[in-house]
Amino acid sequence: MELPAENDQPHSPQWTLIRDLAVLQFKLLVDGFRDLVLLPASIIAAVVSFVKSKDGKPGPQFYNLLAVGKQSELWINLFGALKSAPDDLDHSATFGGADIDDIVSKVEKFVVSEYKRGGVTAQAKSRIDQALRNLHDKNRTGSEPGGSDADGSDS
């Protein structure tokens, strides 16, 4: 029995939906696996970037990883099936023009404001700065700097 040629009969909207669902599920798996790999890889790349700092500028490793992640996001094209959506579908943004970066920016402004007022975030920043200095010094000298922990207490 021969199957009809692809051009003989257009796919019904139901079959298009089933196909798009299957493709989305596959893409979600690929995207999830990518995220699973990026979780530890991004931390390692950031640490390497700090360790490879020169003249107060971090190395490029973290941002190189972000560039690869962005390329993979475009390649996966998670929501590409929207091209099959009905013409009358309202594509307006449910979330408006905001994204997670906007939320992070608002939180960051709050934290900076708290820091300037001398709140808890000032102490946290001081401890993080000390930990980064210790990490950088340890990498440069190959030994534990000053015999202190990152929080300033003696070992």
Establish if 21 belongs to a structural domain.
Answer: yes
Average pLDDT over residues 37-57: 95
Establish if 6 belongs to a structural domain.
Answer: no
pLDDT digits (tens, 9 = 90+) for 102-121: 888 888 888 888 778 777 77
DSSP string, 45-88: HHHHHHHT-BTTB--SHHHHHHHHHHHHHHHH-TTGGGGGS-TT
Q: What is the pLDDT of residue 142?
A: 60
Tokens representing 19 are: 């196909």
Handedness of CA 59, 38, 98, 106 (dihedral sign): negative
Question: Taking the C-alpha atoms of 119, 121, 123 and 124 in order, what is their torsion angle to the nearest 10 degrees?
Answer: 160
Q: What is the pLDDT of residue 116?
A: 80
Q: Structure pTM?
A: 0.62
Distance CA 77, CA 45 (A): 25
Establish if 3 belongs to a structural domain.
Answer: no
Question: How many domains in the chain?
Answer: 2
Distance CA 65, CA 40 (A): 11
Q: Which of 121, 146, 123 is nearest to 136 (CA)?
A: 146
Same structural domain for residues 25 and 58? Answer: yes
Establish if 1 belongs to a structural domain.
Answer: no
Q: Which domain holds residue 67?
A: 11-85
Residue with the larger pLDDT of the pair 68 and 104: 68
Mean pLDDT of the chain: 82
